């Protein structure tokens, strides 16, 4: 490493010696040998594009994959740096198709695109600096703006060091639902993204599929690389609560999505899982899915919805047992 300091009166950079001139010269010669810049003058020109302050990353001498391609893709998008898509990955579908909508959703794009990842790196636009990638400013993207049928749920961690901490979580469905097959919570810490689309449910359960959310969890401590949180009892309780909220929201609101996409197989699976519970509570056999439409249940003992072509009919709610606790109680929800 070599260091320079800008001398304002002289208008030029001067060497910052931490030990000796000889040690500085050895480091500089090694840097010039292994960097893309062969002279000190050429190296110092890199500061011209930074201005009065900033940080500049230079990527070069990339490794190649087994297929002979660079490990980073600079050619598919001249304003982005991407990871090559794995062999056998699905090809991009025709523009406008439901498969393309799912592929273009940010939860999938950020797996490959550095620009997409940087766009959601901060929950709120950073007040001090901008991120410039390949000469173009990265536009801020708020994931919460992509959520429809959203609710704001307050969560107060009981074991947090600050007992007054209250977290407001945004939960709902992606605007592109039901064409987006994803779920998870994007968790931020002090405005910085730690985990994007944290999956809190098993992949083999249709319940909760499509439910996404955003929260800022300043009460838990991230790991040093900012790619996760330290395993603590507070984190475990948060994960458990997020699971509960996901299933509660799905049970109450899945009809808003399923009514847009009558998937008979999915409806039958949901109905089969809930029919036994429905019969046990009401003493009445659950209705069956018909050929012209479908009956499905978003909450096992709440409302039945009937899908008939383009028309959605909501049947009256079943009277609940006196000791039943309705999920997502209104006292904890601000709905917009």
Residue 100, in any domain of the structure: no
Give the pLDDT band (50/70/90) at residue 308: very low
Mean pLDDT for 239-264 is 80
Whether residues 155 and 179 fall in one domain: yes
Of 221, 254, 287, at which residue does a domain stop? 254
Q: Domain span at residue 270?
A: 256-331
Please say if the pLDDT value at position 223 is more than 90.
yes
When pLDDT is averaged across residues 175-190 and rounded to a whole number, the result is 88
Residues 143 and 242 in one domain: yes
Q: Are 300 and 197 in the same domain?
A: no
pLDDT at 318 over 60: no
Greatest mean pLDDT among 43-57, 190-204, 296-310 lies in 190-204
| Residues 212 and 147 grouped into a single domain | yes
Q: Which residue has the higher pLDDT, 86 or 10?
A: 10
- Considering the domain architecture, whether residues 322 and 305 belong to the same structural domain is answered as yes
Residues 145 and 231 in one domain: yes
In a domain, 58, yes or no: no
Given this model, what pLDDT does residue 261 score?
Answer: 52
Give percent of the chain with pLDDT exceeding 70: 68
Q: Does 230 map to a domain?
A: yes
Same-domain status, 243 and 307? no
Does residue 97 carry a pLDDT above 70?
no
Domain of 235, CATH number, reads 3.30.230.10
Same domain membership, residue 301 and residue 231: no
Show which of 29, 47, 65 is a domain's final residue: 47
Q: Give the per-residue pLDDT at 56.
A: 85
Decide if 83 is inside a domain: no
153 and 214, same domain (yes or no): yes
pLDDT of residue 86: 54
pLDDT the model gives residue 312 = 41
Check residue 67 and give its pLDDT. Answer: 80
Report pLDDT for 163.
Answer: 61
Point out the domain boundary residue: 47, 62, 80. 47
Residue 109 lies in a domain: no
pLDDT at 87 over 70: no
User: Is residue 272 located within the same domain as residue 240?
Assistant: no
**Position 133 in a domain:** no
Residue 200 lies in a domain: yes
| pLDDT value of position 266 | 56
User: What pLDDT is recorded for position 152?
Assistant: 92
Split into its structural domains, the chain has a count of: 3
Average pLDDT of the residues in 109-131: 91
**111 part of a folded domain:** no
Mean residue pLDDT across the chain: 76
Quick one: 221 and 309 in the same domain?
Answer: no
Q: Are 163 and 237 members of one domain?
A: yes
Instruction: Please state, in angstroms and as integers, the Cα–Cα distance from residue 265 to each residue in 50, 121, 205, 232, 329, following that order.
Output: 57, 38, 14, 40, 31
pLDDT tens track for 30-65: 989 888 998 988 988 888 888 777 888 888 888 888
């Amino acid at each position: 490493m070599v260091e320079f300091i800008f001398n304002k009166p002289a208008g030029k950079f001067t060497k910052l010696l931490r030990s000796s001139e000889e040690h500085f010269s050895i480091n500089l010669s090694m840097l010039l040998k292994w960097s893309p810049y062969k002279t000190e003058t050429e190296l110092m020109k890199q500061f011209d594009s930074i201005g009065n302050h900033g940080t500049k990353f230079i990527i070069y001498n990339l490794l190649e994959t087994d297929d002979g391609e660079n490990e980073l893709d600079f050619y598919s998008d001249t304003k982005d740096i991407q990871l090559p898509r794995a062999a056998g990955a699905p090809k991009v579908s025709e523009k406008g198709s439901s498969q393309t909508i799912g592929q273009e959703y940010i939860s999938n794009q950020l797996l490959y695109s550095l620009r997409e990842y940087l766009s959601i790196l901060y929950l709120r636009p950073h007040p001090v600096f901008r991120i410039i990638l390949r000469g173009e400013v990265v536009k801020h993207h708020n994931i919460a703006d992509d959520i429809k049928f959203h609710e704001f749920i307050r969560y107060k961690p009981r074991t947090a060091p600050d007992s007054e901490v209250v977290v407001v979580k945004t939960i709902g469905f992606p605007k592109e639902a039901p064409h987006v097959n994803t779920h998870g919570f994007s968790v931020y810490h002090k405005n910085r993204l730690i985990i994007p689309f944290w999956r809190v449910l098993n992949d083999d359960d249709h319940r909760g599929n499509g439910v996404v959310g955003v929260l800022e969890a300043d009460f838990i401590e991230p790991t040093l690389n900012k790619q996760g949180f330290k395993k603590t009892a507070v984190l475990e309780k948060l994960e458990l609560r997020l699971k509960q909220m996901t299933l509660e929201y799905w049970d109450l609101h899945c009809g808003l999505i399923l009514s847009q996409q009558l998937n008979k197989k999915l409806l039958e699976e949901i109905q089969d899982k809930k029919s036994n519970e429905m019969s046990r509570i009401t003493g009445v056999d659950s209705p069956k899915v018909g050929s012209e439409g479908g009956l499905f249940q978003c909450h096992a003992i709440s409302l039945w919805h009937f899908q008939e072509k383009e028309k959605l009919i909501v049947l009256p709610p079943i009277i609940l047992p006196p000791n039943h606790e309705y999920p997502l109680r209104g006292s904890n929800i601000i709905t917009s």
